[in-house]
Structure 1
Amino acid sequence: MSANLDAATTSQPSGNTPEAGPPGGRGLVAKLAAIVVGLTAAITLMLCAFGLPSANGGPRHAPLGVSGPESAVAAVQKQLPGDDWEVTAYDNSRDLVRAVEERDAAGGLAFDEDGLTVYTATAGGQMISNAISGLGTALAGQQHVSATVHDVVPFPKDDPRGTGLASAALPMIFGGMLPAIALLQFFPGHANLRTRLAGVVAFALAGGAAVTAVLQFGIGTLDGNYWVTSLGLGLGMAALAVPFLGLESLLGYAGFGVGSVVMMFLGNPLSGLTTGPYWLPDGWSTLGQLLPPGASGSLLRANAFYDGTGAGGPALVLGLWTLAGVALMYAADRRRNGKAGSKAGDTPAV
């Protein structure tokens, strides 16, 4: 018996036994490959989301007012492509200026015997204003007349290019994400739904007031009623934060992640905050204005530069997003209570 064991032992080569590889080696490679592919797709998606709207930007059905002799108005209407400009004739330059002030026109061209006056609204959109200025200069050159540019709705003198408005895009979005993340961490669990909602509302009011103060009194970008503007910004932050809380309450952190991706990759680049809504491709602008970042930017422009003209639409969009978030939280509350009730009903009485 011992001889057989010795023979079996000595028959195994002592120095040539192959070492076993790490357990799950193929699974590790597959997991690593999936992570690399996922990150590459995320970067590509981010580039497309931020790059394509800018690369394909240009006037898209931008309302342009024209006044002057019928021949000049007809020539402009015939020359400009309908997909880029929607030309409306006005009786005189006063009506044209009023249309720009009331946001019925993004700008205008007024022909008279002295030449051509180009009316722009830089605060309504820097890119579209530049396009209207260039268009007026080109038309004046064709007709061998002089062109004078008049900015009807400019940015304040302290920030004539509106750089502060452009820098407000990310703070507005993170103003909706960060409070939701903080409240979920400090007040976890189903029992704190109402506490989180109250915290978001309080932060939205405080955050809107703080951001407006910096933009209006610190940088000098905004020029309007401070309290109205701050309430509008607060509504925009609530329209982001409350749906985030609702998605997490109903679907967990996966729902929060989906909402964050949508707002960062779609809401931010399609907001039109720096360019104005008439500069984005067809369909993209409409989608951007239906998302909280775009609606919040439009409400900010309306309150800060146009005395509230055009504020109703974006305010309605933001209000509906806020109510949708509350509805998600209510649905999560009902589902949890229903599960708790069914478990209590299944427990046998002692």
Structure 2
Amino acid sequence: MSTQAAPPGAASFSPWPAVAGAVALLTVTISLLLTAFAWPSVRSSVHDVPIAVAGPAPAVKQLTAVLDRRLPDGFEVTEVADAAAAEQLIRDRKVYGAIDLSSGTPQVITASAGSTAVAQALNTLAAGLTKPPGANTEVTARDLVPLPADDPRGAGLAAAALPLVMGGLLTALLLPRLVRGSAHRIIGAFAFAITGGLAVAAILQFWFGSLDGSYWANSAAVALTVAATSLTVLGLASLLGYAGFGLGAATMVLIGNPLSGTATAPEMLPGWSGTLGQLLPPGAGGRLLRSTSFFNGHDATHPATVLTAWLTLGTVLYVAGSLRTRPTGSVTNTVAQPAKQTTI
């Protein structure tokens, strides 16, 4: 008795419910990607941005009231006596800018190296205050900490955020395939962080002209960012497998990068998202690099601590995953060896 064979290729077609499921998954994925990358930019606004106002107390209170009317909850004002105190707060990265009322001519002091978006907002505000009631003087603007002349818009620093994250992910993806041995992979990850930091800082500083300050400090900031990202994802992948890699990649790319505030400022992101972004490697790395490049290392302690914490966590997770008993070696060997045929 013979049976009729199924037509060639008949079993290669997926059932329509599977097609519908794949389409639904892709739709959800693209929606999540759009939300993750577009929502922070679309909802970005000036709120609780720290600035200083210098001058006599009555004038400061009057200007603060004007700011509250024009931009409700837009600024968190620190009152200081004179322009020198305001400038020191800017250099220490305690505030993004200042309005000086201590001299005869009102002056807006910005720091475009700290945030071009905030500097633009303050300059726009200065234009709106050019003719205050009862005054004939015009408000002037001065950039205390400008961006480099070769990159006055800060495009290089903003664009570097995603490649730094991707560099960390590539480390976690390729090292386990190219290098054998847990210790060798850890050393390889640290070595790449160092060489990658040197290379990226050199490109940004000497080729693009996007960075100032100490090249070695900038290289260390980039290296710490790459190391924190790569070791975190490596640790999660070592402990949880592919699910861990996916969790780490999603955290860094879909959450950390859009909420880093590198292109604008953390305070301009909606709600609590800016604060969250500064607790993740992309946001902390961007802030650290601004500090080393433009502000002589001021305000570097917090982002460096965040990155070190992620680096330590990732190393602990990787060691824990490596020490866990995995019977994969015997399984792999069994699969790799051809089956012995028994002859009778």
- TM-score interval, normalised by the smaller of the two chains: 0.7 to 0.9
Contact 2:56 2:81 in 1 (8 A): no
Which runs of structure 2 are paired with 1:264-275 in the superposition (5 Å)? 264-275=253-264
Please say if 1:91 is aligned against 2:81.
yes
Matched to 2:205, the amino acid is Q
Please say if 1:200 is aligned against 2:192.
no
> How far off its partner does 1:142 sit?
3.0
2:95 maps to: 105
Please say if 1:50 is aligned against 2:40.
no
Distance 2:221 2:119 in 1: 25
| More deviation, 276-285/215-224 | 276-285
Question: Cα distance 1:40–1:219, how it changes in 2: closer, same or farther (>3 A)?
Answer: same
2:127 maps to: 137
Matched to 1:104, the amino acid is K
Which runs of structure 2 are paired with 1:81-230 in the superposition (5 Å)? 81=68, 83-112=73-102, 114-143=104-133, 144=135, 145-187=137-179, 192-230=181-219
Distance 1:160 1:314 in 2: 24
Contact 1:116 1:136 in 2 (8 A): no
Q: Secondary structure at the match of 1:87?
A: strand
Contact 1:299 1:311 in 2 (8 A): yes
Matched to 2:139, the amino acid is A
Which runs of structure 2 are paired with 1:270-281 in the superposition (5 Å)? 270-281=259-270
Distance 1:141 1:215 in 2: 41
1:16 maps to: none
Contact 1:115 1:140 in 2 (8 A): no
Matched to 1:119, the amino acid is I
Which of these residues, 47, 50, 56, is aligned with residue 60 of structure 1? 47
2:61 maps to: 74
> How far off its partner does 1:282 sit?
2.4
Matched to 1:33, the amino acid is A
Contact 1:128 1:278 in 2 (8 A): no
Distance 1:23 1:158 in 2: 61
Distance 1:85 1:138 in 2: 16
Distance 1:310 1:331 in 2: 33
Which runs of structure 2 are paired with 1:304-319 in the superposition (5 Å)? 304-319=293-308
Identity of aligned residues (%): 40
Q: Secondary structure at the match of 1:220?
A: coil
> How far off its partner does 1:112 sit?
4.5
2:21 maps to: 34
Matched to 1:31, the amino acid is A
Which runs of structure 2 are paired with 1:250-329 in the superposition (5 Å)? 250-329=239-318
Question: What TM-score results when the alignment is normalised by the length of structure 1?
Answer: 0.86
Contact 2:83 2:102 in 1 (8 A): no
Question: Cα distance 1:186–1:339, how it changes in 2: closer, same or farther (>3 A)?
Answer: closer
Distance 1:36 1:271 in 2: 31
Contact 1:232 1:296 in 2 (8 A): yes
> How far off its partner does 1:83 sit?
2.5
Question: What TM-score results when the alignment is normalised by the length of structure 2?
Answer: 0.87
Distance 1:28 1:99 in 2: 65
> How far off its partner does 1:71 sit?
2.8
Q: Secondary structure at the match of 2:131?
A: helix
> How far off its partner does 1:338 sit?
10
Contact 1:60 1:282 in 2 (8 A): no
Q: What per-residue deviation string (whole Å, max 9, x for no partner) do you get for residues 14-46 of structure 1?
A: xxxxx9x94597x62222211111111111111
> How far off its partner does 1:96 sit?
0.9
Matched to 1:166, the amino acid is A
Contact 2:236 2:248 in 1 (8 A): yes
Q: What per-residue deviation string (whole Å, max 9, x for no partner) do you get for residues 159-207 of structure 1?
A: 111111112112111110112211121135xxx1111111100000000
Structure with more of its chain in helix, by fraction: 1
* Unmatched segments (≥5 aa) in structure 2: 1-6, 330-344
Contact 1:208 1:232 in 2 (8 A): yes
| More deviation, 122-131/63-72 | 63-72
Contact 2:44 2:268 in 1 (8 A): yes
Q: Secondary structure at the match of 2:325?
A: helix
Distance 1:40 1:290 in 2: 30
1:346 maps to: none
Question: Cα distance 1:286–1:113, how it changes in 2: closer, same or farther (>3 A)?
Answer: closer
Q: Secondary structure at the match of 1:223?
A: coil
Contact 2:82 2:102 in 1 (8 A): no
Rg bigger for which structure?
Answer: 1
Distance 2:103 2:299 in 1: 34
> How far off its partner does 1:213 sit?
0.3
Contact 2:222 2:285 in 1 (8 A): yes
> How far off its partner does 1:136 sit?
2.1
